[in-house]
């Protein structure tokens, strides 16, 4: 179990960040904010992909006006992304945004920061101090020589002091870096110095798959240590991919309830009589279309498949031209190989509608016996890849002291 670090709670519209609330998923639109309809369409797509909060750029007066049209129709809380011009933060607040993101590296005048803080406090709108390794203040770069973790943390703490001196405390923080080790170390250091909620991300991670790997490496490492209250995958891709990846990561870590398909599959081996990759791909495509929140297993052979995947809600294991359909490890039907995916989808629908116990009660009485016979035949013809019998005998001898 993950023991999460205790942080203050901050409200971003209807979403609580920190204070033990579920970790939220964020993404950012790529449309021109002045295009109200286009931006709203992307916001709705992001919401459908699992985003809890969406950030929208507010980089000019037209964008601020666009926010005024977007806010009444958004299905999720909106954060305005502000760079350089503090007046655009004031305009975004006037438009009704639920949060601001300020970059301390490019809004430098303390008077301007205090003015934004006062306006945000009047509206109950939180501010994220968004430190980025690529836009650190020159004085910090001169002091440290590079955007090292200590420099990012000092930048964040300095900005927090300015906000707190203005009587503002509704703060979230990020210290993003494009280097995974530097990003992880920066957040670890920051987590020892403040109890404000933390927004995790690897900045400029790049396109998938490398961008996904970097983001997962950094964000998952910290989440497993209990650090982090909200996350964003910064990918060079359709932002819908960011939301989907963030949501799936939280589900896999057990930090959010699963709301979609979780397909597990063996990596295949020489024992498999089917193209496991092709079957798994076809099954995933068909089951995603069903929009079922279940865990499904696709296994290459019936020798170990049902046992290895017994925790899955439902699965299929191949063997000698047949598919052995199982529920919670119990084989319930045997179908022709060509019908494996169709049978899996059909049984998944029934399982969702009727429940596990009802589907186990409806099992084919001879299915398990057929599965055992097939497994025995495979072992006889191919041998035991795990050499299980001999290994068990050796273990027994050691245990008995023979």
What pLDDT is recorded for position 171?
98
377-393: average pLDDT: 65
How does DSSP assign 142-187, residue by residue? HHHSS--HHHHHHHHHHHHHHHHHTT---EEEEEEBSSHHHHHHHH
Query: What's the alpha-carbon Rg for the chain, to the nearest Å?
Result: 26
Task: Check pLDDT > 60 for residue 149.
Answer: yes
Q: Is 218's pLDDT higher than 90? A: yes
Order of strands, sheet of 199-200, starting from the edge strand that comes earlier in the sequence: 171-176, 127-132, 99-102, 78-82, 53-57, 24-28, 230-232, 199-200
Side-chain-side CA neighbours of residue 174 (13 Å): 28
pLDDT of residue 154 exceeding 70, the answer is yes
CA distances to 136, 140, 153, 280 from 158, rounded to whole Å, are 12, 11, 9, 51
More confident residue, 199 or 265: 199
What's the pLDDT score for residue 230?
Answer: 98
> 132 forms bridges with which residues in the sheet?
176
Over the range 59-77, which residues count as b (16 or more CB within 10 Å of their CB) and which as e? beeebbbbbebbbeebebb
> Average pLDDT in the 323-351 region?
90
Q: Is the pLDDT of residue 137 over 60?
A: yes
Helical packing angle, 180-191 and 149-165, nearest 10°:
40
Residue 142 has pLDDT above 80, yes or no: yes
Which residues are registered as beta bridge partners of 322? 319, 336
- Report pLDDT for 402: 63
CA distance 225 to 188: 9
For 269, which DSSP code? -
pLDDT, the chain, mean? 90
Write b or e for each residue in 259-286: b if 16 or more Cβ atoms lie within 10 A of its Cβ, otherwise e: ebbbbebbebeebbbbebeebbebbbee
Whether the pLDDT of residue 386 is over 60: the answer is no
pLDDT for the residue numbered 310: 81
- For the stretch 158-215, pLDDT in tens is 999 999 998 999 999 999 999 999 999 999 999 999 999 999 999 999 999 999 999 9
Sign of the CA dihedral 289, 27, 3, 265?
A: positive
Pick the CATH number of 262-382 from 3.30.413.10, 3.40.50.150, 3.40.50.720, 2.40.37.10: 3.30.413.10
Q: What is the predicted pLDDT for the residue at 375? A: 66
Question: Where do the CATH 3.30.413.10 domains begin and end in the chain?
Answer: 262-382
Give dist(CA 389, CA 256) in Å, integer: 41
More confident residue, 334 or 302: 334
pLDDT interval class at 389 (50, 70, 90): low
For residue 384, what pLDDT band results from cuts at 50, 70 and 90?
A: low
Closest CA to 359 of 377, 379, 324, 332: 332
CATH 3.20.20.20, the chain: domain bounds: 10-252
Fold (topology level) of 10-252 = TIM Barrel (3.20.20)
pLDDT band for position 377 (50/70/90)?
A: low
Looking at 34-48, 217-231, 257-271, 286-300, which range is the least confident one?
257-271
What 3-state class would DSSP assign to 4?
coil
Work out the number of other CB atoms within 10 angstroms of the CB of residue 58: 29
């Amino acid at each position: 179990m993950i023991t999460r670090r205790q942080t203050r709670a901050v409200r971003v519209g209807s979403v609580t960040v920190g204070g033990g609330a579920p970790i939220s998923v964020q993404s950012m639109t790529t449309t021109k904010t002045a295009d109200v309809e286009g931006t709203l369409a992307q916001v709705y797509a992001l919401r459908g992909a699992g985003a809890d909060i969406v950030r929208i750029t507010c980089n000019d007066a037209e964008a601020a006006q666009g926010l005024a049209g977007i806010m009444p129709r958004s299905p999720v809380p909106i954060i305005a992304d502000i760079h350089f011009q503090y007046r655009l933060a004031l305009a975004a607040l006037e438009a009704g945004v639920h949060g601001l993101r300020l970059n301390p590296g490019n809004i430098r005048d303390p008077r301007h920061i205090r003015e934004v803080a006062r306006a945000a406090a009047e509206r109950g709108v939180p501010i994220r101090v968004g430190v980025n390794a690529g836009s650190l203040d020159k004085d910090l770069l001169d002091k440290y020589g590079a955007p090292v973790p200590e420099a990012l943390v000092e930048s964040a703490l300095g900005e927090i002091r300015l906000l707190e001196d203005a009587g503002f405390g509704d703060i979230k923080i990020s210290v993003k870096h494009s280097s995974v080790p530097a990003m992880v170390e920066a957040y670890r250091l920051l987590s020892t110095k403040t109890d404000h909620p933390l927004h995790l991300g690897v900045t400029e991670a790049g396109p998938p798959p490398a961008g996904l790997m970097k983001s997962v490496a950094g964000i998952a490492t910290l989440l497993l240590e209990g650090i982090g209250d909200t996350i964003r995958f910064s990918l060079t891709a359709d932002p819908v991919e960011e939301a989907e990846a963030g949501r799936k990561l939280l589900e896999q870590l057990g930090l959010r309830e699963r709301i979609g398909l979780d397909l597990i599959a063996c990596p295949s081996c020489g024992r498999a009589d089917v193209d496991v990759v092709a079957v798994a791909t076809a099954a995933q495509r068909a089951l995603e279309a069903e929009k079922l929140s279940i865990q499904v297993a696709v296994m290459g052979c019936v020798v170990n498949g049902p046992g290895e995947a017994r925790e899955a809600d439902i699965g299929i294991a191949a063997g000698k031209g047949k598919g052995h359909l199982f529920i919670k490890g119990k084989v319930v039907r045997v179908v022709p190989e060509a019908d494996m995916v169709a049978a899996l989808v059909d049984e998944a629908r029934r399982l969702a509608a009727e429940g596990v116990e009802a589907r186990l009660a409806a099992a084919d009485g001879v299915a398990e016996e057929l599965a055992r016979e097939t497994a025995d035949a495979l072992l006889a013809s191919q041998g035991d890849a795990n050499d299980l019998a001999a290994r068990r005998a050796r273990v027994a001898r050691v245990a008995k002291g023979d």
